[in-house]
């Protein structure tokens, strides 16, 4: 069975007056049905742009310059076939039938995601009516049921409230209800808990885990929080400056990381059981500005194992080093990215 | 680290900060938001006290009251000055406060919003010096160069503007500015929460290093419990304007006595897929500080609540030396900690 989503050598560039920002520069991964696929990375690594490219909502001056985004579509509108989303018209009928129905998004900022002048109920009902052949009464029934499913108390009353009347936790639940209202097979959660507190975060993560198990939908979970990834994902992809550094099953990424960047990242976080008040191992330097990305492997200026003459000249390709685990680093293989 | 015999550098007693809620044409006061509601704690010289809690719990308001960025509604804030006198910061007038401000400085959360984009590093770091009477430009230049070096930036950067620096470097600039007037107490309000994971560790290390070298006292306001555990000697936990628990870091994390502290710790996702966290869920929402529930503010969400908790607010008392808690059942409860 083909994977639900297969991204192949995706490149998304932003053409600015000052130059070209290669936000996503050759990213390849597969998401299987029912899988929780985690993408971790720091700011500027291209994790959000990857998500936007899949949904085809990259704003100009950005555009997809290369690559395939193959969705194994199973919908009333598009039928059962593999569609290359990168080839579709971003505003065309086909893409609009996929966006929201087959692939739904849980955005980072629930306040910004809802319109302040429409009730949350109206907004969820609108999404349902757009994708399902139901009338307004039935749509409201579905919305009410969704609100109840995500654990919003008094769902009937909440439907008629505005986003600003809800607390952060409820707003995040309402967004999840909206994203799930059309039974998407793929859910993209872009930092869904970054804007909320730890106790709310725990509630939201638990909810997502329960819903994912019940509905068996796949989730692409984007975050910079390694704790959240460890708890949520089955398979993890680590990104840095537009490239995939490493990908593998969650246990291998956390217990047998191969790439020096993954290793350094895991060491640098203060954990609940690390020795207090002792200097943490750090990654030297800072993330380069996207306009002056280093030549060769993007991580080489900060890498303790950088090999001069190799890492600063050639870009390593993503190669399998173990079953299911692949790394783009010359320490493990000699394959480079073909220009 | 904590020395029970030394007089604390800062002693906060029954601090209250109420913000009026005004309504109607005459802006009549119809109620109060009890942002900080009878909070007492102390900080010894050279130690780091962590102030943790969820958003809206009043931790930022409390820290701003100490710096007199807010005028407290009532309470005492006894500060031991450089020459050994003890003054009450809450009672001082503007003019009297000014010389004391040299001894208390602040590091802000947002490294982007807290630096004026039109000022050079020299102007930013040198401004507190100018305000406090160092009018000689040459002297100031030398001092700024020294400070930049202290925080790990090159003195040649002095004439540059903040936009040329990354988030981590900007936070270093903010730290240099705070340290320019040789403060003794530094209030750091979420100093690393806006930074990338790989940069967080660098700033935490810098703060620990500077503390050792300059004998600084930190009030570290944060919501990230792993970071707090790493950097703090003692931790105070706030909930809806009140302190619920205060103890040494080791004791608080090993054997929390307040159910809220335990719930907060259980909610932190651990960066290890083999340890499953988030199974204990804190139900419900944080109450509004304008309309707190009767009795213990935490009782509606507390699984250990008894009849007494619903009517009688618990007293913030010392149950073992140095361990303060506001819970009626603190003596009988056995709560799980970490490690």
Kindly report which listed range (A101-105, A158-162, A178-182, A273-277) carries the lowest average pLDDT score: A273-277
Residues in CB range of B150: below 8 A, 6 or more apart: B176, B179, B210
**Is residue B264 in a domain?**
yes
pLDDT at A214 over 60: yes
Contacts A193 to B, Cβ<8 Å = none
Residues in CB range of B129: below 8 A, 6 or more apart: B140, B143, B144, B180, B181
- Nearest-10 Cα torsion for A173, A174, A176, A182: 150
Backbone angles phi, psi at A101, to 5 degrees: -100, -55
Contacts A276 to B, Cβ<8 Å = 229-232, 249-250
Gap between the Cα atoms of A120 and A162, Å rounded = 6
Gap between the Cα atoms of B53 and B51, Å rounded = 7
Contacts B286 to A, Cβ<8 Å = 167, 197
Gap between the Cα atoms of B300 and A334, Å rounded = 60
Of A181, A184, A173, A183, residue with least CA distance to A150: A173
Pairwise CB contact (< 8 Å): B267 & A198: yes
b/e string for B266-293 if b means 16 or more Cβ within 10 A? bbbbbbbbeeebbeeebeebbbebeebe
**Is residue B244 in a domain?**
yes
**What is the chain B residue with the closest CA to A44?**
B196
Contacts A210 to B, Cβ<8 Å = none
**Is residue A178 in a domain?**
no
Long-range contacts of A170-174 (CB under 8 A, 24+ apart): A170/B285, A171/A110, A171/A111, A171/A114, A172/A110, A172/A196, A172/A200, A172/A204, A173/A147, A173/A204, A173/A207, A174/A110, A174/A114, A174/A120, A174/A124, A174/A147, A174/A150
Gap between the Cα atoms of A282 and B322, Å rounded = 33
Neighbours of B84 (CB within 10 A): 7
Nearest-Cα distance to chain B for A320, in Å, is: 22
Both tokens of B122, joined, read: 């020299």
B276-289 confidence digits (pLDDT tens): 876 667 877 788 88
How many domains, in total, are found in chain B? 1
Of A335, A173, A167, A326, residue with least CA distance to A256: A326
A279 DSSP assignment: P
Give rounded-to-5 percent helix, strand, coil for chain B: 30, 25, 45
Task: Domain of residue B300: give its range.
Answer: 10-103+183-325
CATH code for the domain of B237: 3.40.50.300
Nearest-Cα distance to chain A for B96, in Å, is: 36
A89-114 confidence digits (pLDDT tens): 888 888 988 888 899 999 887 778 88
For the beta sheet containing A62-75, the strands, ordered from the edge strand earlier in sequence to the opposite edge, are A19-31, A5-16, A62-75, A79-84
Of B196, B264, B285, the CB nearest to A167: B285
pLDDT at A197 over 90: no
Residue B296 has what pLDDT?
93
Gap between the Cα atoms of A125 and A135, Å rounded = 10
**Is residue B118 in a domain?**
no
Q: What angle do CA B281, B286, B289 make, to 5 degrees?
A: 165
Residues in CB range of A266: below 8 A, 6 or more apart: A226, A254, A257, B271
* DSSP SS3 for A11: strand
Question: What is the full DSSP assignment across B243-278?
Answer: EEEEEEHHHHHHS--SHHHHHHHHHSPPS-TTS---
Q: What is the mean pLDDT of chain A?
A: 88
CATH code for the domain of A81: 3.40.50.300
Contacts A167 to B, Cβ<8 Å = 285-286
Mean pLDDT, rounded, for A150-161: 87
**What is the chain A residue with the closest CA to B282?**
A199
Pairwise CB contact (< 8 Å): A206 & B266: no
Nearest-Cα distance to chain B for A59, in Å, is: 24
- The band of A44, judged by pLDDT with boundaries at 50, 70 and 90, is confident
Mean pLDDT, rounded, for A20-38: 92
| Portion 146-175 of A in contact with B at CB < 8 A | 167-170
Of A251, A265, A271, the CB nearest to B274: A251
Contact A286, B168 (CB under 8 A): yes
Question: Can you tell me which residue has the tokens 């908790």?
Answer: B309
Beta bridge partners of B15: B39
Gap between the Cα atoms of B110 and B30, Å rounded = 33
CA distances from B319 to A167, A180, B257, B259 (A): 35, 48, 9, 15
Pairwise CB contact (< 8 Å): B270 & A198: no
Chain A, chain B: beta-carbon pairs less than 8 Å apart: 146
- The band of A269, judged by pLDDT with boundaries at 50, 70 and 90, is confident
Strands B323-325 and B317-320: antiparallel
**What is the chain A residue with the closest CA to B54?**
A197
Contact A300, A282 (CB under 8 A): no
pTM of the complete model: 0.85
Task: Domain of residue A295: give its range.
Answer: 1-102+227-269+281-306+315-339
Q: In this prediction, what percent of chain A has a pLDDT beyond 70?
A: 99
Of B64, B68, B163, residue with least CA distance to B116: B163
Pairwise CB contact (< 8 Å): A197 & B230: no
Gap between the Cα atoms of B219 and B135, Å rounded = 30
Residue B35 half-sphere exposure, CB side, CA atoms within 13 Å? 20
**What is the chain A residue with the closest CA to B231?**
A277
Max Cα distance, chain B (Å): 68
Gap between the Cα atoms of A145 and B82, Å rounded = 64
| Portion 103-122 of A in contact with B at CB < 8 A | none
**Is residue B269 in a domain?**
yes
Residues in CB range of A165: below 8 A, 6 or more apart: none
Residue B29 has what pLDDT?
84
Residue B1 has what pLDDT?
44
**Is residue A252 in a domain?**
yes
Q: Exposed/middle/buried for B17, CB within 10 Å: 0-12, 13-18, 19+?
A: buried
| Portion 227-256 of B in contact with A at CB < 8 A | 227, 229-233, 249-250, 253
Both tokens of B141, joined, read: 């230049």
**What is the chain A residue with the closest CA to B163?**
A289
**Is residue B134 in a domain?**
no
How many domains, in total, are found in chain A? 1
Higher pLDDT, A43 or B184: B184
pLDDT lower than 50: segments of chain B:
1-5
């Amino acid at each position: 069975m083909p994977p639900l989503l297969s991204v192949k050598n995706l490149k998304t560039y932003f053409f600015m007056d000052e130059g070209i920002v290669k936000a996503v520069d050759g990213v390849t991964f597969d998401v299987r049905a029912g899988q929780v696929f985690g993408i971790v990375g720091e700011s500027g690594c291209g994790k959000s742009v990857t998500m936007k490219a899949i949904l085809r909502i990259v704003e100009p001056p950005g555009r997809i310059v290369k690559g395939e985004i193959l969705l194994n579509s199973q919908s009333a509108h598009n039928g059962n076939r593999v569609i290359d989303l990168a080839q579709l018209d971003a505003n065309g009928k086909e893409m609009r039938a996929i966006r929201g129905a087959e692939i739904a998004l849980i955005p980072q900022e629930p306040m910004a995601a809802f319109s302040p002048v429409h009730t949350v109920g109206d907004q969820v009902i609108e999404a349902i009516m757009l994708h399902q052949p139901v009338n307004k009464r039935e749509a409201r029934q579905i919305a009410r049921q969704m609100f109840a499913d995500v654990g919003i108390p008094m769902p009937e009353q909440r439907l008629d409230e505005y986003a600003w009347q809800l607390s952060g936790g409820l707003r995040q639940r309402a967004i999840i209800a909206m994203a799930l209202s059309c039974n998407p097979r793929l859910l993209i959660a872009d930092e869904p808990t970054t804007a909320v507190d730890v106790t709310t975060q725990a509630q939201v993560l638990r909810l997502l885990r329960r819903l994912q198990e019940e509905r068996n939908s796949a989730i692409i979970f984007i975050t910079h929080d390694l704790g959240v990834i460890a708890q949520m994902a089955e398979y993890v992809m680590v990104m840095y400056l537009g490239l995939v550094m490493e990908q593998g099953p969650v246990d291998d990424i956390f217990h047998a990381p191969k790439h020096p960047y993954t290793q350094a990242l895991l060491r640098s976080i203060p954990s609940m059981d690390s020795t207090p008040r002792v200097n943490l191992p750090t990654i030297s330097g800072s993330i380069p500005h996207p306009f002056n990305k280093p030549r060769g492997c993007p991580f080489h200026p900060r890498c303790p194992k950088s090999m001069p003459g190799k890492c600063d000249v050639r870009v390593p390709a993503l190669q399998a080093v173990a079953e299911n685990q692949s790394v783009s680093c010359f320490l493990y293989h000699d394959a480079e990215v073909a220009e | 680290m904590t020395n029970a015999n030394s007089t604390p550098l800062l002693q906060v007693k029954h601090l209250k900060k109420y913000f009026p809620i005004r309504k109607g044409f005459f802006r009549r006061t119809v109620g109060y938001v009890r942002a900080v509601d009878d909070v007492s704690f102390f900080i010894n010289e050279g130690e780091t006290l962590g102030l943790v809690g969820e958003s809206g719990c009043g931790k930022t308001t409390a820290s701003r009251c100490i710096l007199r960025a807010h005028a407290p509604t009532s309470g005492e804030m006894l500060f031991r000055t450089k020459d050994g006198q003890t003054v009450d910061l809450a009672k001082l007038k503007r003019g009297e406060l000014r010389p004391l401000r040299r001894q208390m400085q602040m590091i802000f959360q947002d490294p982007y919003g807290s630096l004026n984009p039109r000022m050079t590093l020299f102007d930013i770091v040198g401004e507190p010096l100018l305000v406090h009477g160092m009018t000689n430009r040459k002297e100031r230049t030398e001092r700024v160069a020294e400070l930049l070096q202290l925080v790990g930036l090159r003195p040649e950067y002095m004439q540059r503007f903040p936009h040329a620096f990354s988030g981590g470097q900007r936070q270093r600039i903010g730290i240099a500015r705070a340290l320019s007037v040789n403060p003794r107490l530094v209030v750091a309000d979420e100093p690393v929460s806006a930074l990338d994971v790989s940069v967080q560790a660098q700033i935490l290390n810098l703060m620990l290093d500077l503390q050792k070298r300059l004998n600084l006292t930190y009030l570290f306001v944060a919501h990230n419990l792993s970071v707090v555990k790493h950097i703090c000697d003692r931790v105070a936990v706030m909930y809806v304007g009140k302190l619920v628990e205060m103890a040494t870091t080791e004791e608080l994390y090993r054997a929390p006595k307040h159910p809220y502290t335990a719930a907060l710790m259980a909610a932190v996702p651990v960066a290890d897929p083999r340890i499953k966290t988030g199974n204990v869920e804190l139900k419900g929402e944080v109450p509004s500080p304008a309309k707190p529930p009767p009795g213990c503010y935490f009782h509606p969400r507390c699984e250990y609540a008894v009849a007494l908790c619903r009517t009688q607010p618990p007293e913030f008392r010392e149950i073992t030396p140095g361990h303060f808690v506001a819970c009626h059942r603190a003596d009988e409860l056995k709560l799980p900690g970490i490690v």
